[in-house]
Structure 1
Amino acid sequence: MAPVPLSGEGRTPRPIDPGTRIGHVHLKVADLDRAIGFYCGVLGFELMQRYGSQAAFVSAGGYHHHIGLNTWESLGGAPPPRGSTGLFHTAILYPTRAALADALRRLIAAGIPLDGASDHGVSEALYLRDPDGNGVELYRDRPPEDWPTMPDGSLAMVTRALDLDGLLAEG
């Protein structure tokens, strides 16, 4: 497949409307009950609707759904092998550092290991896998006024180890 050209060679594309947001992610899972157990039972999402053993929709705060889970093409399936294309991870944004600390405590209580934990300067993030091997990032953004910048004023994202003990000490 040939690369998709920009809107006119040599021209800068017109940016997307800044109010645009990603509304939800829909994941293929092998076992719906197991996936609901993770997203609702461990992470704390609310089950909004379920279609038998085929699909479920979960949310935070009563939204129709932030995450869709389905077995339409994946019932009993295995995760994609390493080296294949697909979703790298779903990122779940927590509103505060205390809420992210609560998420970490839930993972510890459920015995779910982390793949990593990073301080990116602009955010703090926990990385893990759901029961189907889908990558999950749980993170919180720092306020923009606390973001690190380069001497020229541009954003300076970094990756360093996240202090998990410090995070757990959060209220």
Structure 2
Amino acid sequence: MTTENDRPIAAGVTVGHVHLKVADLERALGFYCGVLGFQLMQRYGTQAAFVSAGGYHHHIGLNTWESAHGSPPPRGSTGLYHLALLYPTRADLADALLRLQRGGVELDGAADHGVSEALYLRDPDGNGVELYWDRPRDEWPLDDAGQLAMYTRALDLRGLLAELRAED
């Protein structure tokens, strides 16, 4: 069935922000600002806060309006799988890995997808978080027909951290 709504979304559309329900606002701010390095832009008392990278009004909203002292949704339920934070360079992703290690945050996984390298983890409320950087488009893997050929391989975390030493 074809309708007038079958046309694609405008090419310039981007995801502006994500808003997460959290159980403890201070704990969430400790992770997003303290570990990942986001900047607190605005706060609404003890119930909500808005954090940003680079001074934007907010990339992530955190609130306890419906979730104060709550528990994460059980596995097997619908909801957010993960939010993905795109870092501009491989060195910036390496810095994020170092921040996670220093903050005692365990990774759920780390993968090289050919088009990108990614770190997977959970925030203190169990929300999935992906931290990644995209390789330049001209380095993306293609199959014999010239089609995108993404894959999943283990990411060399030591090699990623070496990116920081290479910048010195």
- TM-score > 0.5, shorter chain as reference: yes
2:151 matches 1:155 = no
Please list the CA deviations of residues 44-98 of structure 1 after superposition, one character each: whole Å capped at 9, or x if unmatched. 0000000011100000000000000000000000000000000000000000000
Q: Which has the higher helix share?
A: 2
Number of matched pairs: 164
Which consecutive residues of structure 1, in runs of 5 or more, have no partner in the other structure?
A: none
Q: CA deviation at 1:7?
A: 2.3
Please point out which of 60, 64, 82 is paired with 1:89: 82
Q: Distance in 1 between matches of 2:54 and 2:65?
A: 27
Q: Distance in 2 between matches of 1:141 and 1:91?
A: 12
TM-score, normalised relative to structure 1: 0.94
Q: For residue 80 of structure 1, what is the aligned residue in structure 2?
A: 73
**Percent identity of paired positions between Structure 1 and Structure 2:** 75
TM-score, normalised relative to structure 2: 0.95
Q: 1:6 to 1:49 in 2, by over 3 A?
A: farther
SS of the aligned residue for 1:170 comes to helix
- Aligned residue type for 1:19: G
Matches within 5 A, 1:1-171: 7=3, 13-171=6-164
- Aligned residue type for 1:167: L
Q: CA deviation at 1:6?
A: 5.3
What is the RMSD of the two structures over their aligned residues, measured on CA atoms? 1.2
